[in-house]
Structure 1
Amino acid sequence: MNLTETITSIAQEEAVNLLLLNGLNSGGSFALWRKPKTQTLEFILDDSYSALRLGLNLEELPQGFVVHPFADQEDKKAFFIRASQYFKFNLAEPLYSEDLPIWIQSSLNSDQNNSQKIESLLRQKSVLDKSNPVHGTEKEAFLQLVNLGIDAISRGELEKIVPARTKKVALPEGFDLARTFLTLLHSYPNSFVNFFHIPQVGTWMGATPEVLIETKGDFFYTMALAGTQPAKGENPMKSAAWTQKEIEEQALVSRYIVDCFKKIRLREYEEHGPKTVMAGNLLHLRSDFKVNMKATGFPQLGSVMLDLLHPTSAVCGMPRKEAHEFLQEHESFDRSFFAGFLGPVNIESETSIYVNLRTANFQENEVILFAGAGVTEDSDPEKEWEETEMKCEIIGKFIKNPIA
């Protein structure tokens, strides 16, 4: 590591510590994120003490960050972090104290151990909803849930179901949140790496590979992401071999997106894929969709498709209504924000909403990891369990083994 890289590395960690410290000390809601394949770290803070919930007319919202749970909300509202303060910087360039805004500079103090203060605040402010506790799902219970899903599919009640499970890990003493977050950034360049805190609601961190909807200028984007296998060998993307089960699973997700386009009589769209993509140490099949909103006369396509797509068949199943009812009846825990959606809205004329996968919920002394697996008639319950173990490790390994 040369001198410039050393300066940049130190500046990044100090900057992330200051952002986290300001957010947790503010008493308000905040989010920190980096979009896939970019070098820009972004921070937003809503300094009001009460959690804000707004409707999902994306085109009319102020700049901010939206967070929505998996379960449908009767009032069709989501948590919204309004941009009282906004800051971004390039991770590939050195950052110095004079580059920071005044409201961050005021908290600079070299005599304080910010990482320890952040750990203490993280434990104090993380919320455990005692009315609906999350329990780690044991293997036997998950296998039973998978078998119930396979039985429902074989009876013709479902085409696909996506059961989920949780896994608890202890939050280690001396946990360094800023360093862990930076490690996620460097480890998962193709994922939306994020951390958000909403007082009395929840504290979450994740690295999700899946775009739900995105709008940039006149263009709308979405993707169908499904099928999972571990990345192996020197060139895993070229050596990947997909089974018929995985190909059909991904095709179901793509078909659902096309059905949504048909529902709103949208016929002019581009579809590319499926192709193999890498997310951390896992491979997936992905198809990309693109629409010119101006040419097709759909300026509000982002809001319309968000309503139609969530929850996607990749996190719920098909048919969506029956799959959702099956999960509500048989899953033993509240998914909360897992398999919901989140992301920046109307920041620099772009909105990027992601499915909240590969995510972790912070409690006072532990972290809850979440993972799901797509089940079809050809599924092997043991293999579905192994898939959820791999997905839990994407975030879990960095929490269980903090970087020294």
Structure 2
Amino acid sequence: MTTAYQAPAGTHADTPAASPSSLLAAYRPGPDQAFLAGPHSTLLARGALRHVTDPARAAEALEEARRTVGGTPLLVGAIPFAPGRPARLFVPAEVHRGGPAAEDPAFLLPARRAAAASGRDWTQLPVPAGPLYAEAVAEAVRRMRAGTGPSKVVLARTLELTAPGGADLPAMLARLIHRDPGGHTFAVPAGGAATLVGASPELLVSRRGRTVVSNPLAGSAARSADLAEDIRRAAALLDSPKDLAEHAFVTDAIRRVLEPYCEELTVPQRPTLVRTAAMWHLSTTITATLRDPSVSALELALALHPTPAICGTPTDRARELIAELEPFDRGLYTGAVGWGDADGDGEWVVTLRCAEAEGDGLRLYAGAGVVEASDPEAELAETTAKFGTFLHAVGLEDTK
């Protein structure tokens, strides 16, 4: 079914929803299309009534759309990592909604999984190369131990993939959903002819009515194909002082940001474990009730961004070190991607496990949280494991 600005799936019992697989089949990469699939709903946005590069103008754009076309308009797209850089947001002319992708039988069929593989011959170029990334981690640790660095910094690296014809994005999205059906899979415009595509495990913030939820992830371990080893790694992560400290940085920061906006704020004392196909993560689900119902999900996302999970702490010192040690521009990576509507509801996830596709190229991103107790080789291995999500999506399985 096609409905402009219909309310979130499930709020109108008499409004049938399209199947997530049919929405993916209808998706065509471009500057005015977006596809978002999450644990609760799937969304396909088409056409642009207005592009928004400054998130501070989002409410204005939504109210203008409400006046001109009625209903409850949405804003979809991505917010960059660095302040002052342009956001890639738009108010779509059409919004098509479906239920959770994990409940669509089409994504469970083995034949569909096989068909989604690209089969292309990709060349790979890590930037920086593994040894140089390990050196950057070691330098960050040296500064922390000397008292001249931040308490935590997230250092990232990229993997440049190139193949004639580039990526088949709908096929990649199908494989990403197959691999982690409970995650947040997305494809949104990234400026010009580029598309940001990914499958993030981390909810930055959602708002439905006055209910606010944030699910920070920090502290990770690679999965193992051996069941006993996989369980051992999960148990070790849950008992790791280094990873528990890294996780505490994030949950404490989110609590401090949300407290002025919320009441009945609930933060569990210890994290639990969540898993993706490639990684174990320490996870805390924070819930709260909004004090002022006029505060939108996007406003909360902007207040929370960047969390220590993707930048570090203190934020300014971590940003400075990232700019010094990372030999590339993050762009939209470690920003936020999602949707928000004119009533203030919305869902924004941290832009992780993602790649930027343009022409023949696909730039993958992966990062690791560095604290004083970090081991450079272990952080390098973590980024390699995180690349696995996308390498699987394009038919590759490993890198250096």
Map 1:113-132 → 2, pairs under 5 A:
none
- The partner residue of 1:146 within 130, 137, 145 is 137
Which one-letter code corresponds to 2:83 in the other structure? D
Q: Does 1:68 align with 2:79?
A: yes
Q: In the alignment, is the contact (CA less than 8 A) between 1:214 and 1:221 conserved in 2?
A: yes
Summarize the Cα distance change of 1:266–1:64 in structure 2 as closer, same or farther, 3 Å threshold.
closer
Specify the alignment match of 1:247 in structure 2. Answer: 244
Distance (Å, rounded) in 2 between the aligned partners of 1:148 and 1:199: 33
How far the C-alpha of 1:255 sits from its partner, in A, is: 1.3
Distance (Å, rounded) in 1 between the aligned partners of 2:150 and 2:380: 20
Map 1:19-38 → 2, pairs under 5 A:
19-20=27-28, 24=30, 28-36=31-39, 38=40
Distance (Å, rounded) in 1 between the aligned partners of 2:343 and 2:180: 24
Which one-letter code corresponds to 2:79 in the other structure? H
Which one-letter code corresponds to 2:53 in the other structure? R
- 1:258-316: CA deviations, max 9, x gaps? 22245x385630113411111222110111111111xx346416455323321111111
How far the C-alpha of 1:207 sits from its partner, in A, is: 0.2
Map 1:383-394 → 2, pairs under 5 A:
383-394=378-389
Specify the alignment match of 2:195 in structure 1. Answer: 203
Summarize the Cα distance change of 1:173–1:353 in structure 2 as closer, same or farther, 3 Å threshold.
same
Map 1:99-114 → 2, pairs under 5 A:
none
Map 1:5-404 → 2, pairs under 5 A:
16-20=24-28, 24=30, 28-36=31-39, 38=40, 40-47=41-48, 51-56=51-56, 61=62, 62-73=73-84, 78-90=87-99, 92=103, 136-156=127-147, 157-171=149-163, 176-200=168-192, 202-232=194-224, 233-234=226-227, 236=230, 239-242=234-237, 243-262=240-259, 264=260, 268-272=264-268, 273-293=270-290, 296-297=291-292, 299-300=294-295, 302-346=297-341, 350-401=345-396
Distance (Å, rounded) in 2 between the aligned partners of 1:336 and 1:375: 21
For the aligned residue pairs, the C-alpha RMSD in angstroms reads 3.1
Q: In the alignment, is the contact (CA less than 8 A) between 1:29 and 1:198 conserved in 2?
A: no
Which one-letter code corresponds to 2:158 in the other structure? T
Distance (Å, rounded) in 2 between the aligned partners of 1:78 and 1:229: 31
Identity of aligned residues (%): 24
- 1:143-175: CA deviations, max 9, x gaps? 121111101211223111111100112236585
Q: In the alignment, is the contact (CA less than 8 A) between 1:169 and 1:396 conserved in 2?
A: no
Distance (Å, rounded) in 2 between the aligned partners of 1:348 and 1:93: 28
How far the C-alpha of 1:254 sits from its partner, in A, is: 0.9
Distance (Å, rounded) in 2 between the aligned partners of 1:174 and 1:299: 43
Summarize the Cα distance change of 1:35–1:56 in structure 2 as closer, same or farther, 3 Å threshold.
farther
How far the C-alpha of 1:327 sits from its partner, in A, is: 1.0
Which one-letter code corresponds to 2:84 in the other structure? Q
- 1:56-96: CA deviations, max 9, x gaps? 4766634120311111117xx6321212111123454689x
Q: What are structure 1's unaligned runs of at least 5 residues?
A: 1-10, 96-114, 120-133
Distance (Å, rounded) in 2 between the aligned partners of 1:41 and 1:298: 25
Which one-letter code corresponds to 2:204 in the other structure? L
Specify the alignment match of 1:128 in structure 2. Answer: none
Summarize the Cα distance change of 1:174–1:227 in structure 2 as closer, same or farther, 3 Å threshold.
closer
Q: In the alignment, is the contact (CA less than 8 A) between 1:135 and 1:333 conserved in 2?
A: no
Specify the alignment match of 1:99 in structure 2. Answer: none
**After alignment, is 250-259 or 334-343 more displaced?**
250-259
Q: In the alignment, is the contact (CA less than 8 A) between 2:197 and 2:354 conserved in 1?
A: yes
3-state SS of paired residue (1:280): coil
Q: In the alignment, is the contact (CA less than 8 A) between 1:66 and 1:343 conserved in 2?
A: yes
**After alignment, is 246-255 or 346-355 more displaced?**
346-355
Specify the alignment match of 2:5 in structure 1. Answer: none
Distance (Å, rounded) in 2 between the aligned partners of 1:303 and 1:89: 22
